[in-house]
Structure 1
Amino acid sequence: MPQPDGDLPPDLWTRPRIAAALATCDMATVIEGVREARGWSQGDLARAVDYSQSWVSRVINGQQALTVTQVQDLARRLAIPLHLIRFTGTPPRDGPAPKGVDGTKRRDFGRAVAASALITTVPHPPVRNGEEHAVNETTAPALRSITGGQRRMDATSSARHLLPSAVAHVHLSEHMLTNSRGTPFFTELSAAASEARGFAGWLHADQGDMGSARMHYRTAVVRARQAGMRLLDVYMLGSLAAFEIDTAEDPELGLGLVREAEHVLGPAAHPTARAWLNCVAALAHAGTGDAHAAVHSLGQADREVARPGNSDPPWPWVFAFDEAKVAGYRALVGVRLRQPHNARAAFAEAFGPTSPSAKQSAVLQVELASAHAEAGDVDEAFRLAQDALTTGVRFNSERVIGRVRSFRRRYRGPHANCVDALDDRLASLMTDLSATG
């Protein structure tokens, strides 16, 4: 049934034709699907996206290539969820893509886009005799308590050790979710499965498995939307945004996801959610070089953190989002904007009495090392990198070890004994890994 106004049909993105189009980068079919769902003419579509009708006609007929920016703009105007669209082959940080390069012609654009959408179109097996009683009012709280315990253990445990149990927990959560279809517990179990997926995505990212991390994060968003829980939806969208910004180094895509999360969150929300999302936005702005927008977002985060209602974080946040955490993001922003003195001052605040966990501290140490190197303090920079590497090896965190390697690759300063020492240790680490592989 066409819907010229209001929301698009909730199942539009999981319909086989649209899901397949998302998976194969066929934006013409996706846009045509939106037009049909709205009951629009091509002229109506042209007015909605603010392009000429002839241009729209060429897009729908596959005669007009789209740039990445145009895809993002069309997605925003047509309410196409940006988390279903994956941009790959992004240019390196130190330079834009060459002029004339058409981002959407990269054939791997969105190969895994519809993984999260397609998962909801796969037929679920019927509930077998006796299994209808496998789910009750205690199932979702039990699953959520397991995820919560795993998230707390992440502060002091290796992701490699936690990952097998986390993946098994995802499978258990999905099994229970399947059994809950047609019961009053489906919504709660969708939320529990979303949490389990989000944590599995975090652990995979820590181990350097980008594909698995992205798949779990995307499915976490889908499950959150099945649950209809706004804060959970925002948390998972923001987590996916942070992953794309900081791990996949795609701040433009991350910023688009932040915008989608802000739309879901709305103007009135818990200050913890708003402060955290503003910090993620600041990191995205810094990645694109927009210092003014980054500082503005951090200022908004400071105001949210100072609100009285921020004392108790809402689920699914486990830890309070306080001034020290905002300072950590401010420091990261300073590094990315090449403001070493501002970054070092913010790091001093971030490593206060409520300093983050060992692994997160190591990530911040590498960033602080970059700030010291930028300021010419080479010995302190490499001391911090060495300390971070020690933590990375102890927790077997590819996230931390990889950042130390990246720090060393980016360093172009004077040669010194501390540089040789880090080089020797990184080489030794690779030899040790080869011997045990």
Structure 2
Amino acid sequence: MAAALATCDMAVIVEEVRLARGWSQGELARIVGYSQSWVSRVVNGQQSLTVDQVREVAERLEVPIHLLRFARATAPGRGAEPTRRREFGRVVAAAAVTLPAMAAMSVDIDENTAAALRAITGSQRRLDAMAPARDLAGAAASHLDLITTTLERSGRTPYAPQIAAAASEAAGFTAWLHNDMGDAGSARHHYRASIAYARRAHNSLLTAYMVGSLAAFEIDSGDPELGLSLTREAGRHLGPDAHPTARAWLACVRALGHSSIGAAAAASRDIALAEAGVNRRDNTDPPWPWVFAFDQAKVAGYRALTGVRLRRPHDARTAFREAFDGAGPAGKQGAVLQVELASAHADAGDVDEAFRLATEALGVGVRMRSERVIGRVRRFRRAYRGPRARSVREFDERLPELLSGS
């Protein structure tokens, strides 16, 4: 089942449900309310399903329908949208549907299990850029439950450490979603779980990544001293021979902590260390769990953030331009960076541009239902003490309308 979810093979998923329940194909057909020949075509990948059919079959197979966030209901009077097997399978992999009987399935745990589970988390992480965290949180929690169940079943097998590593990544992603939803308590809980699973996996690099992620979260939440102490712990896990990406990233997290307490010299040293790290010849493919290369543009983004915190708006704006090379940041994380850039423009006296960026970021936050983005925008407005220009008045008028949905 895990392999089928990871490879987006809906035919296998349906067939495995049938086998797990001990049904014949005819019994499956009676339960879903279709002919046996129709079911056979679905299982063989020869039958297209409409969105309404997917919902209907899911309900009759007791698949939790609230986890299937693949489309809105078809409007009355409109033709149903065809959903091909590969399209629905892609959504299943992203949502990591956990069926009621899945835990009882006699699935062999082998060298492919952890990779399959990690592939599902990877699909969810990619969806995070375009979907509200609240739409993913339930599926992420169910997937984490599946991994932890699989981990307990793995016992003392050679595959247990790999599955523990998959659990760590899934817990870290779940923490990220709760952070975006403004649920700091749940985010901390899942970050701590991610660290515990990484230690259980005996993976020092993964442990450093998760401790560093918690450090970044605490710095971002207003406790830079705690965050800096966590970066020191992460550094001990990394060791002197760690991959340049890991060392550069952790140096950037330290820079955020130092700049948040006004330690400009320490922040500059950290950024310099990160820049030297990314320029090393052996900084090629990023190690897991990093997804993208950590390059000069990424370091420039952190340099911009430190500039904002140190109230150096001109340095911050220059670094932002270097980080994005003329292209505006996108998605929820892009909106967070837009608020930071808005702060730099406000400090530089460019009020109109500052509030234009804040308004755009707020629109993204409302559309994506991101409490993290909305909270950043509101914090920016509370901190602004400059002249009440026309752009400021327009923002103040627009704010309640966007937040109330009117």
Q: TM-score, normalised on structure 1?
A: 0.67
Partner of 2:171: 197
Residue 139 (structure 2) aligned to one of 162, 165, 175? 165
Structure 2 residue matching 1:155: 3-state secondary structure: coil
Structure 2 residue matching 1:228: 3-state secondary structure: coil
Q: Distance in 1 between matches of 2:249 and 2:271?
A: 10
Partner of 2:183: 209
CA deviation vs aligned residue, 1:127-165 (integer Å, no higher than 9, x gap): xx9877543322211110111111122222221222111
Partner of 1:284: 257
Q: Is the 8 A contact 2:329 2:335 kept in 1?
A: no
Partner of 1:178: 152
Partner of 1:228: 202
Amino acid at match of 1:384: L
Alignment of 1:7-406 (within 5 A): 134-246=108-220, 248-352=221-325, 357-406=330-379
CA deviation vs aligned residue, 1:323-353 (integer Å, no higher than 9, x gap): 1111111111001001111111111111127
Q: Is the 8 A contact 1:154 1:162 kept in 2?
A: yes
CA deviation vs aligned residue, 1:212-241 (integer Å, no higher than 9, x gap): 100000110010000011111111011000
Amino acid at match of 2:360: D
Amino acid at match of 1:207: M
Note closer, same or farther for the CA distance 1:415–1:203 as it changes in structure 2 (3 Å cut).
same
Structure 2 residue matching 1:177: 3-state secondary structure: helix
Structure 2 residue matching 1:310: 3-state secondary structure: coil
Q: Is the 8 A contact 1:156 1:357 kept in 2?
A: no
Q: Is the 8 A contact 1:335 1:371 kept in 2?
A: yes
Amino acid at match of 2:177: L
What is the aligned length? 304
Note closer, same or farther for the CA distance 1:270–1:263 as it changes in structure 2 (3 Å cut).
same
CA deviation vs aligned residue, 1:90-147 (integer Å, no higher than 9, x gap): xxxxxxxxxxxxxxxxxxxxxxxxxxxxxxxxxxxxxxx9877543322211110111
Q: Distance in 2 between matches of 1:143 and 1:354?
A: 34
Q: Distance in 1 between matches of 2:354 and 2:296?
A: 25
Q: Is the 8 A contact 2:194 2:210 kept in 1?
A: yes
The percentage of aligned residue pairs carrying the same residue is 60
Q: Distance in 2 between matches of 1:394 and 1:311?
A: 36
Structure 2 residue matching 1:308: 3-state secondary structure: coil
Partner of 1:103: none
Amino acid at match of 2:233: E
Q: Give the CA deviation at 1:320.
A: 1.0
Q: Give the CA deviation at 1:392.
A: 1.3
CA deviation vs aligned residue, 1:69-95 (integer Å, no higher than 9, x gap): xxxxxxxxxxxxxxxxxxxxxxxxxxx
Q: Distance in 1 between matches of 2:121 and 2:159?
A: 18
Q: Distance in 2 between matches of 1:290 and 1:399?
A: 26
Q: Give the CA deviation at 1:356.
A: 5.1
Structure 2 residue matching 1:388: 3-state secondary structure: helix
Q: Is the 8 A contact 1:324 1:354 kept in 2?
A: no
Gaps of 5+ in 2: 1-102
Q: Distance in 1 between matches of 2:182 and 2:141?
A: 16
Q: Is the 8 A contact 1:132 1:179 kept in 2?
A: no
Note closer, same or farther for the CA distance 1:423–1:357 as it changes in structure 2 (3 Å cut).
same
Amino acid at match of 1:343: A
Partner of 2:39: none
Note closer, same or farther for the CA distance 1:356–1:239 as it changes in structure 2 (3 Å cut).
farther
Residue 422 (structure 1) aligned to one of 392, 395, 399? 395
Q: Is the 8 A contact 1:324 1:355 kept in 2?
A: no
Q: Is the 8 A contact 2:134 2:181 kept in 1?
A: yes
Q: Give the CA deviation at 1:355.
A: 6.4
Q: Distance in 2 between matches of 1:354 and 1:422?
A: 24
Q: Which deviates the most, 230-239 or 150-159?
A: 150-159
Q: TM-score, normalised on structure 2?
A: 0.72
Q: Distance in 2 between matches of 1:333 and 1:376?
A: 19
Q: Is the 8 A contact 1:191 1:224 kept in 2?
A: yes
Q: Distance in 2 between matches of 1:139 and 1:333?
A: 41
Q: Give the CA deviation at 1:322.
A: 1.1
Structure 1 residue matching 2:325: 3-state secondary structure: coil
Partner of 1:413: 386
Amino acid at match of 1:339: R
CA deviation vs aligned residue, 1:367-397 (integer Å, no higher than 9, x gap): 1111111111111110110111122122221
Q: Distance in 1 between matches of 2:204 and 2:246?
A: 11
Gaps of 5+ in 1: 1-128
Q: Distance in 1 between matches of 2:230 and 2:403?
A: 36
Q: Distance in 1 between matches of 2:106 and 2:155?
A: 9
Q: Distance in 2 between matches of 1:291 and 1:266?
A: 25
Amino acid at match of 2:261: T
Q: Distance in 1 between matches of 2:296 and 2:334?
A: 16
Q: Which deviates the most, 209-218 or 304-313?
A: 304-313
Amino acid at match of 1:182: R
CA deviation vs aligned residue, 1:28-86 (integer Å, no higher than 9, x gap): xxxxxxxxxxxxxxxxxxxxxxxxxxxxxxxxxxxxxxxxxxxxxxxxxxxxxxxxxxx
